[in-house]
Structure 1
């Protein structure tokens, strides 16, 4: 396998990112790979915000993983800054290769460089394999999350 590079996502990466987001039962219900327009708009908006980091992992110039890291300054926890990891996906051909670990390690190291005191993420309750993965990397399930669709 070739060398792995983690770099900011570009407009040209959107088709591969969306394909990975849609490549499971939950994502297949939420994503629309046939219409990439909203994804291009979102990436443009995210790219203009210094607190947003959408990255891809590439191997041999092929997009094989992605995640979004959001830096959130706050007042709670004595004015601490936290980060949120979202949209973690690894191409089916790369699962089990250690790529997911490398992506999370990148996000944690980036969070430290940004002065974060806490890294958090959410994972759908049905993604039990992902829960084991995050726990193996030191994350703890400490909160109950709530969502309100708008």
Structure 2
């Protein structure tokens, strides 16, 4: 994978780098995932365990870094992880006849979003998915998260399924 670099300008300083994550990034990846859970799932889904990243994130990221069917990317600025993406490929199976890529997790700190870090992370994920032979990529977003839905649509995703839930 190539490293993607962009200057952030005077507001944030430094350059934002998108690269494959390494074991030494795990602490920053967990912090990024913790922010994602608090900002997204924690505000939209009362059943979400917002402590999951702190409790299980390090082991999850460590396993993903060792798994050839997973991709973990870090967005870095001034030596600090300011965002991440985790994705996977699977298949084909008897049920789904093609290789499919799933964008599992994506987060960029708000102060770094103007550098198009999210779009760059998604672009690297899609390039990786193509190299892995995936015929399509998918991502799940909360229906109440209009900003995320617009972001994914701007990056080429479109609605295919709808999950409906009833509280019991």
TM range (shorter): 0.7 to 0.9
Aligned to 2:49: 30
Q: Is the 8 A contact 1:5 1:59 kept in 2?
A: no
| Residues 22-61 of structure 1 mapped to structure 2, 5 A cutoff | 22-24=37-39, 26-27=41-42, 30-32=49-51, 36-61=54-79
Alpha-carbon distance change, 3 to 38 in structure 1, aligned in 2, over 3 angstroms: closer
The answer to which of 108-117 and 12-21 deviates more is 12-21
Two-structure CA RMSD over aligned residues (Å): 2.5
Alpha-carbon distance change, 144 to 63 in structure 1, aligned in 2, over 3 angstroms: same
Matched, 1:21 2:36: yes
Gaps in structure 1 of 5+ consecutive residues: none
Matched, 1:12 2:30: no
CA distance in structure 1 between the aligned counterparts of 2:22 and 2:72, rounded to whole angstroms: 6
Q: Is the 8 A contact 2:102 2:138 kept in 1?
A: yes
Alpha-carbon distance change, 86 to 9 in structure 1, aligned in 2, over 3 angstroms: farther
CA distance in structure 1 between the aligned counterparts of 2:136 and 2:142, rounded to whole angstroms: 20
Aligned residues: 146
Gaps in structure 2 of 5+ consecutive residues: 1-7, 9-14
Aligned to 1:69: 87
Deviation per CA, 1:39-82: give whole Å up to 9, x if none: 12222332332111222111221212111111112236983211
Q: TM-score scaled by structure 1? A: 0.82
The answer to which of 67-76 and 85-94 deviates more is 67-76
Alpha-carbon distance change, 25 to 133 in structure 1, aligned in 2, over 3 angstroms: closer
CA distance in structure 1 between the aligned counterparts of 2:123 and 2:97, rounded to whole angstroms: 24
1:25 Cα deviation from its structure 2 partner: 5.1
Aligned to 2:5: none
